[in-house]
Amino acid sequence: MELLKAILLGAVQGLTEFLPISSSGHLVLGSKLLNFQEQGLAFDVFVHFGTLFSVCVVFRKELLAMVTAPLAVLQKRADAKLTRFFYWDIYIIMATLPAVVVGLFLKNSIEDIFANVLLVYCMLFVTGLLMTVTPYIRERKVQLNCPRALLIGCAQAMAIFPGLSRSGSTIFMGMLLGVNRETVARFSFIMSIPAILGAVVLQGRDLLHTPPPVESLLLIGAGTIASAISGYFAIILLLNVIRKNKLHYFGYYCLLIASGGLLYTFISG
């Protein structure tokens, strides 16, 4: 049963990391509903590695271009495509800075934040509201630049609160700034890479001091594989949904879950 729970939670992580319904919020709620005892620091870190792998697979061509672009620009042999990805390297750095600052200052408070189920429901409600208004945001087709990337990064930093979707917040901010929906979605997926790596580095010291027991490695491995597979399909699905401008359906889902959870919390006392 614990193995099945690990696979389910890994799949939930993969789906919700990229779908705008909050992976952290669903992991908190899922682990409590399933009473999964192994859902600790090590499990969280490795299922995030699974989603990291999936985003690298989907955007492997873009990532390769971003890696080669700086050298090509320095050697003055970059074409228009490589030049564009060179600027994306700069934008990703700008967008990552707010998350680094928030992560450093709130590192000791993160576990306490994740223990607050009421906060999860409230933030899911906020996510739902953001997604339900996306069809009414007019697309102005402006280009990404450093200030816009920084603002999108601030939206990502706010998603440290469980229940507030990282992908939903960043895509919403990009759309609010007038950036093309699909462009900001791709940018959001790629900017998740340093965010995930940064979270792993911040928690790495604690994980080295308290490594997971050997008997939990199978559960962690199963959860990681499940998160990688589900994350891959979640990215493909969300890109298709964004092209059709149907993000509000995710908003209805978040509002339903949040309203039901808040009602249950208040009734149960």
| Residue 64 · residue 37 · CB < 8 Å | no
Are 159 and 169 within 8 A, CB to CB? yes
- pLDDT grade for 228, boundaries at 50, 70 and 90: very high
Q: What is the 3-state secondary structure (H, E, C) of 168-235?
A: HHHHHHHHHCCECHHHHHHHHHHHHHHHHHHHHHHHHHHHHHCCCCHHHHHHHHHHHHHHHHHHHHHH
What total number of domains does the chain contain? Answer: 1
CA distances from 45 to 10, 99, 109, 138 (A): 11, 17, 17, 37
pLDDT tens digit sequence for 33-64: 666 554 566 777 788 889 999 999 999 999 99
Residue ranges making up the domain that contains 130: 2-268
pTM equals 0.88
pLDDT tens-digit readout, 97-148: 998 888 777 666 665 666 677 888 899 999 999 999 999 998 888 999 999 9
Distances (CA, A) of 209 to 82, 119, 128: 42, 29, 38
